[in-house]
C-alpha cells in the first residue's frame, strides 16, 4: 500500500496515493458558503468542479494551524516585550542610580522556565529556542555585576558596560525572538489535497500544513485503534470515522486517514469493521 505523509499541526497523517487526485498550494482564495461545520472553509474548483475544502487541522486539533501559529507568535511577542521591559528597567535603574526591583536570579526567571520546557516538532524552531539560554543567563549575571558597580559609585563604568551588553547579548536575544517568529512563517506552507473516491472525480479537499514523504506499508503495519477506544480514550465522531489506524514511524505514529468518511452516510457511521475492509486494508 503506497501512502503519502502530511503534516497537520503536531500530527502526521497518511493518505493512500489512490485517494489523491492532486495537491496544490493554498492561496486563501476559496468561495465561502454558509455552513455549521467549523472545519469547512469554502469551495474551490477542481477541473471546473466545485469541491468542498475542509481544514484538517480543525478536525484533528480543534484549531487551524494558522490560528495555532498566531497564538504562538503572540506568546513570543509577549516574552520579547517582557525582556525589553526588563532591560529598560535595568537601564533606568543604573542611569538614575535607583533600586532595581525586577528579578536578577535566572533560576527564578519565568522566561527561563518557559523556554526550557518549550517543545515542538519543528526542529529548526526548537533549535532557536534552545539558543535563548546563553544570552539570557549572561544578561542576568551581568545585571547583578552592574548593579554592584553602581552601588559602589562606579556609575559611569556601569553605564558603559551596560551599553556594551545592549549591543551584544541583549541584541542577540531580541534577534532570536525575531528568528523564532520568522521560522513559524517559513514552516507553514499549507496545501490543499484534492481527494477522490473513484480515481477521476474530486470528492473533497483537505487543507494540511505541508507534504512530508511517501512510504509503502503492508496491512500488518497498520495498527487498529480498538485498543485506544476500548480503554475509554475518547475521539469525536467525525475524527473517529476518518481514522483507519496507526502506522509506526521512526519516532512517532502517523494516523491513516480515509477522507471519504467525512461525507459517509449516517446509516454507515457505526459500521467500523465494514469501513475498514472497504478501505482496502485486507
Say how far apart CA 49 and CA 201 lie, in whole Å.
Answer: 8
> Which residues share a beta bridge with 43?
31, 52
Share of the chain above pLDDT 70, in %: 87
Are the beta carbons of 245 and 224 closer than 8 angstroms? yes
Q: What are phi and psi of 141, to 5 degrees?
A: -65, -45
Give Dmax (Cα) for the chain: 83
Q: What angle do CA 26, 242, 209 make, to 5 degrees?
A: 25
Res. 215: pLDDT tops 90? no
Which tens digits make up the pLDDT trace of 82-118?
A: 999 999 999 999 999 999 999 999 989 999 999 999 9
Lowest mean per-residue pLDDT among 28-32, 56-60, 223-227: 223-227
Contact (CB, 8 A) for 1 and 215: no
pTM: 0.77
Rg (C-alpha) for the chain, rounded Å, is: 26
- For 108-130, what is each residue's pLDDT tens digit? 999 999 999 999 888 899 999 99
The pLDDT value recorded for residue 270 is: 45
Burial string for 245-266 (b: 16+ CB within 10 Å, else e) reads bbbeeeeeebbbbbbbbbeeee
pLDDT reading at 219 higher than 80? no
Compute the distance between CA of residue 6 and CA of residue 4 in angstroms, rounded to an integer: 7
C-alpha cell, 86:
526588563
| Grid cell locating 123 | 526542529
Q: 180-211 burial, b for 16+ CB within 10 Å, e for fewer?
A: bbebbeebbebbbbbbbeeeeebbbbbbbbee
Cell of 10: 503536531
The pLDDT, as a whole number, for residue 278 is: 41
- The mean pLDDT of 165-171, rounded to a whole number, is 96
Residues of the chain within CATH 1.20.120 domain(s) are 66-187
Q: Which helix (H) or strand (E) holds 179?
A: helix 171-187
Q: What CATH number belongs to 66-187?
A: 1.20.120
Sequence-ordered strand ranges (E) for 80-163: none
In contact, 192 and 205? CB cutoff 8 Å: yes
pLDDT digits (tens, 9 = 90+) for 264-273: 444 334 444 3
pLDDT at 206 over 90: yes
Nine cell digits for residue 261 = 468518511
Under the phi-then-psi rule, with left for phi > 0, alpha for psi from -120 to 50, and beta for the rest, what region is 260? alpha
Amino acid at each position: 500500500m503506497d501512502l503519502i505523509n502530511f503534516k497537520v499541526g503536531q500530527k502526521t497523517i497518511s493518505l493512500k496515493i489512490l485517494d489523491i487526485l492532486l495537491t496544490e498550494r493554498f492561496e486563501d482564495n476559496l468561495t465561502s458558503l454558509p455552513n455549521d461545520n467549523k472545519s469547512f472553509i469554502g469551495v474551490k474548483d477542481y477541473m471546473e468542479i466545485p469541491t468542498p475544502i475542509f481544514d484538517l487541522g480543525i478536525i484533528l486539533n480543534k484549531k487551524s494551524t494558522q490560528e495555532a501559529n498566531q497564538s504562538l507568535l503572540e506568546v513570543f511577542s509577549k516574552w520579547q516585550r517582557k525582556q525589553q521591559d526588563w532591560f529598560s528597567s535595568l537601564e533606568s535603574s543604573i542611569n538614575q542610580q535607583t533600586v532595581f526591583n525586577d528579578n536578577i536570579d535566572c533560576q527564578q526567571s519565568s522566561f527561563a522556565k518557559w523556554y526550557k520546557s518549550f517543545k515542538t516538532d519543528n526542529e529548526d524552531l526548537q533549535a532557536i529556542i534552545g539558543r535563548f539560554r546563553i544570552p539570557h543567563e549572561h544578561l542576568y549575571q551581568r545585571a547583578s555585576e552592574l548593579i554592584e558597580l553602581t552601588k559602589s559609585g562606579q556609575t559611569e563604568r556601569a553605564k558603559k558596560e551596560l551599553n556594551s551588553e545592549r549591543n551584544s547579548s541583549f541584541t542577540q536575544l531580541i534577534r532570536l525572538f525575531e528568528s523564532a517568529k520568522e521560522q513559524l512563517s517559513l514552516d507553514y506552507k499549507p496545501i490543499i489535497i484534492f481527494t477522490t473516491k473513484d480515481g477521476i472525480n474530486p470528492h473533497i479537499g483537505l487543507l494540511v500544513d505541508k507534504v512530508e514523504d511517501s512510504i509503502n506499508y503492508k496491512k500488518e503495519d497498520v495498527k487498529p485503534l480498538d485498543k485506544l477506544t476500548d480503554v475509554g480514550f475518547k475521539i469525536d465522531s467525525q475524527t473517529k470515522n476518518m481514522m483507519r489506524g496507526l502506522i509506526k514511524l521512526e519516532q512517532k505514529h502517523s494516523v491513516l486517514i480515509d477522507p471519504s468518511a467525512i461525507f459517509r452516510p449516517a446509516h454507515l457511521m457505526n459500521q467500523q469493521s465494514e469501513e475498514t475492509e472497504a478501505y482496502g486494508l485486507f
